[in-house]
Amino acid sequence: MKVENVRPVDSDARPALVLVAGSEVPAGFPSPSQDYTTSEINLNEHLLTSPSSMYLMRVRGQSMTGAGIYDGDEIIVDKGRRAEDGDVVIAYVDGEMTVKRLRRTPDGGVILAPENPAYPNIIIPELSDLQIWGVVTTCLHHVPRG
């Protein structure tokens, strides 16, 4: 899975206010007694934990579908956050950026694991030159029109 269209998040942007209708939306049967009061949230505060180190990237490919990241989705990446085992990361491998789940092995190695069984793990030997570019914090999934 590749990333493209990398751009920094504007930390000085105006608040991105969105109306919130109620607190939950049932995915089963609707409740006729549901209260539909509204409030506002600022998406900048909700999605951008450290705006000066965050980037927006578009994803291409199918290797991370098990993590809820699909072709054409946009991800928010924190370049300043330290990557931990189990994080979804942006990594430089062989000169290309890729999105994978970071797995550390007991012997000091690294595996970049896809979240789709149709794709193989990328095994990084201990002395390889691997760069973790950033940690994925949010996926903006686009629901296809039907």
| 3-state class (DSSP) for residue 113 | strand
Pairing of strands 38-42, 17-21: antiparallel
Encoded tokens for 112: 């970049």
Q: What's the helix, strand, coil split of the chain in %, to 5?
A: 10, 40, 50
Catalytic hit among 33, 50, 100, 128? 100
Of the residues 33, 53, 63, 79, only one is catalytic, namely 63
Rounded distance between C-alpha atoms, residue 52 and residue 10, angstroms: 8
Active site residue 100: yes
Distances (CA, A) of 49 to 120, 123, 140, 144: 32, 31, 15, 28
- Contact status, residue 102 vs residue 86, Cβ threshold 8 Å: yes
Q: Supply the residues annotated as catalytic.
A: 63, 100
